[in-house]
A and B are shown apart, each in its own frame.
Chain A
Amino acid sequence: MSANEHILTRVPDTLPASQRARRPLSPTQWSLISIGSITLLWWAITASSLVPALFLPPPGDVLAKFGTLVSSGYMDATLQQHLWASLQRIVLALLAAVAVGIPLGIAIGTYPRVRHLLDPLIEFYRPLPPLAYLPLIVIWFGIGELSKVLLIFLAILAPVLIATAHGVGSVSLVRQQAALSLGASRGQLLRYVILPGALPDILTGIRIGLGAGWSTLVAAELIAATRGLGFMIQSAAQFLVTDVVVLGIIVIALVAFALELGLRRLQRRLTPWHGQTH
């Protein structure tokens, strides 16, 4: 019996050549691989003339269109002006949704009666496609900015409300009791314990809400708009200007992604404890 028999595994002195050279890819590198592959595929399909440019314009054309749109614009407005119009609507709707959603969410999370009262209303409108109640909004509120912002607001409100209520409801009872035994009043409990405790959930709700807001943008800009990325895409679609459609989609995606990254960073800064094991 050899002395080494009970050693089950040994670490090899040198790694095999195949493992030595490879360095793990960073998350960003993985993401770049997928973006690069899609672009390459897109380019290959258009370059081989398999699909007419009317259906899928080549990447080069879309890029060139970007230059044209920035300098001379489309439908009486430059790309920046379209973007600005849409961003204003989204941000206005987001601010309103936060201003309404967080206090209401706190009330729902704190008082069961408020929850029972509002739950059916929220669950009634939440699954409805915005296009379904768009006509009603136009009939009630006209074709001005209010209706556009209202539609986006409703899309953002539901996730913010639900996440806030959930966050408030799941703040550790022990933490609240400890604060009460240190002399906290109800107001202090809310301010110093419940709100910070619910903050990670609230921020997640805002992130999800913002995504929902962007996906409602095109519907909102169906309402007699003369500017906005959604409006730009729709008009271009009517005249089969496919490169503008594709460009509009990419710009929306990029801006939405940039906002999402900003919010993620904010979440990490504001709630560094979130996800830490206790």
Chain B
Amino acid sequence: MSLLQAHNLGVTYPGQASPALQHVSLQLGEGDLVVALGPSGCGKSTLLGVLAGFIAPSEGSVSFDGQPVVAPGVERAVVFQHDALLPWLNVADNVAFGLKLQGVDKARRQQVVADTLQLVGLADVGRKYTWQLSGGMRQRVGIARAIASQSKILLMDEPFGALDAFTREQMQQLLLSVWQHAGRGIFLITHDIEEALFLATELVLMSPGPGRIVQRLRPGFSQRYRDGEDVRAIKSDPAFIALREQLLRSLFAQRQAEAA
């Protein structure tokens, strides 16, 4: 059953001729991990903004659990690339922030925070401040914060875009194990083809001018990871590489068509 439904979305920013987003529809269910992949300017950030309720669509509509989405809401937690944590709170208080806003009592908050930090592998840094952590650890805190809140789905805005390649791969695996344990639907945007292929249950390829979906596929590699297969084995699988090349070609073809 799909929780989040976007129907025929269109966004045109004031003063811009070409729509940032056009005719975009998608659905996100409880166990889904939908990844929007595309180059800069393809409208993926706009799409995430609309799903989060930060941007009002010019056309179409978004609904969550049958209710129209018109504003940010606690059931749709957003994880950003960086700078979204609160530096004046320590890690535990950052993770507890969403629950505190909802008025959840302290004992319950502490329990959830301990469980969530354990889940993202940060059990022993709860008292540190976010600016004392590495980039990868800060992103774990961001993910923990979104999970600890009473969210039903996570919207992730290039969450690993600022990390080095090594940390990024670790974080991808962490995300899959968190996704498995927490059982939330995830919508993630990225410009990293490997990341999209590895994570997605459904991958939507987007293209700019106007921002739209040009291809949808179901790679299924994340399921293989969940079934216990090694990450390097998956990423070096000929099927994986073939899909990667096909996507890359399709992206280049789009770009050339545009330039012509």
Contact = CB atoms under 8 A, between A and B. Distances in A.
Interface of A: 172, 174-175, 177-185, 188, 192-193, 196, 199, 271-273, 276-278
A184 B53 CA distance: 13
Nearest to B79: A178
B81 to A, nearest CB: 8
B80 A178 contact: yes
A91 B235 CA distance: 66
23 contacts: A172-B83, A172-B84, A174-B80, A174-B84, A175-B84, A178-B78, A181-B74, A181-B76, A181-B77, A181-B78, A182-B77, A182-B101, A182-B145, A183-B74, A183-B98, A192-B86, A192-B97, A273-B87, A273-B88, A273-B129, A273-B130, A278-B82, A278-B87
Contacts of B145: 182
Given A182-B97, A182-B101, A174 B83 contact: yes
A172 B86 CA distance: 10
A174 B54 CA distance: 11
Contacts of B73: 181, 183
Nearest to B75: A183
Interface in B153-191: 155
Interface string B128-161: 0111000000100000011001110001000000
B97 to A, nearest CB: 6
Interface of B: 52-54, 71-74, 76-80, 82-88, 97-98, 101-102, 129-131, 138, 145-146, 149-151, 155
Contacts of A181: 52-53, 72-74, 76-78, 155
Contacts of A273: 87-88, 129-131
Nearest to B74: A183
Given A182-B97, A278-B82, 8 more contacts: A175-B83, A177-B52, A177-B54, A178-B84, A181-B74, A182-B149, A188-B101, A278-B83
Nearest to B54: A177
A112 to B, nearest CB: 16
A180 B84 CA distance: 11
A183 B150 contact: yes
A131 B113 CA distance: 58
A272 B88 CA distance: 8
Contacts of A192: 86, 97, 101
Mostly, the B contact residues are loop
A182 B151 CA distance: 8
Nearest to B102: A183
Nearest to A188: B101
Nearest to A193: B86
A182 B86 CA distance: 13
Contacts of B146: 182
A190 to B, nearest CB: 12
Contacts of B52: 177, 181
B87 A276 contact: yes
B86 to A, nearest CB: 7
Given A178-B80, A181-B52, A182-B145, A272 B101 contact: no
A35 B155 CA distance: 58
A277 to B, nearest CB: 8
Contact of A276 (B102, B131, B149): B131
A273 B89 CA distance: 10
Contacts of B85: 175, 178
Contacts of B98: 182-183
A182 B52 CA distance: 11
A188 B98 CA distance: 11
Nearest to B131: A276
A177 B78 contact: yes
A65 to B, nearest CB: 47
A225 B175 CA distance: 70
Contacts of A199: 88
B129 to A, nearest CB: 7
B218 to A, nearest CB: 27
A192 B85 CA distance: 12
Nearest to B87: A273
A249 to B, nearest CB: 39
A180 B129 contact: no
B88 A271 contact: yes
Contacts of A272: 129
**Which of A172, A180, A181, A183 gathers the greatest number of chain B CB atoms within 10 Å?**
A181
A255 B52 CA distance: 52
A95 B77 CA distance: 40
